[in-house]
């Protein structure tokens, strides 16, 4: 049973930082690339960052490049998203996902960037 559980979201002021976590189970974690998506109110879900199975390759959407960093700890079966210099435009529900048999999603964690 694949499970993805995000945590770490919350309310933060512009310019602040937040670190999201995703705990995974139910599959051989180290064999799969992992993704962070987000969905802002009234907008389509978009891919934010991807990390390869060994953690050596990462890809970011242009708007977050240089501010966000995806990482993984295969021993802990977790991925992380370090978000720095947060902007109001980053406000969204953030989802962890994996392509395994089908695409699996976590429940999401709310990130709100506001003064």
2-42 per-position pLDDT tens digit: 999 999 999 999 999 999 999 999 999 999 999 999 999 99
Kindly report the average pLDDT of the chain as a whole number: 97
Distance, CA of 19 to CA of 39 (rounded, Å): 17
Predicted confidence at residue 23, as pLDDT, reads: 98
Query: Looking up tokens 């599959």, which residue turns up?
Result: 27
Question: What confidence score (pLDDT) does residue 25 get?
Answer: 98
Q: In what order do the strands lie in the sheet with 68-73?
A: 3-7, 18-25, 78-83, 68-73
Dihedral, CA atoms, 109, 103, 46, 88, nearest 10 degrees? Answer: 10
d(CA 99, CA 2): 11
Q: What percent of the chain has pLDDT over 90?
A: 99
- The pLDDT-based confidence of 48 (bands split at 50, 70, 90) is very high
């Amino acid at each position: 049973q694949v499970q993805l559980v995000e945590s770490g979201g919350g309310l933060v002021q512009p310019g602040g930082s937040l670190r999201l976590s995703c705990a995974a189970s139910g599959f051989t974690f180290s064999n799969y690339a992992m993704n962070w998506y987000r969905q802002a109110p009234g907008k389509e879900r978009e891919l934010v960052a991807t990390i390869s199975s060994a953690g050596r390759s990462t890809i970011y959407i242009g708007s977050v490049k240089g501010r966000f960093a995806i990482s993984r700890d295969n021993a802990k079966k977790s991925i992380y998203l370090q978000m720095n210099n947060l902007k109001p435009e980053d406000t969204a529900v953030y989802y962890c996902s994996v392509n395994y048999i089908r695409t699996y999603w976590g429940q999401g964690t709310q990130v709100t960037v506001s003064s």
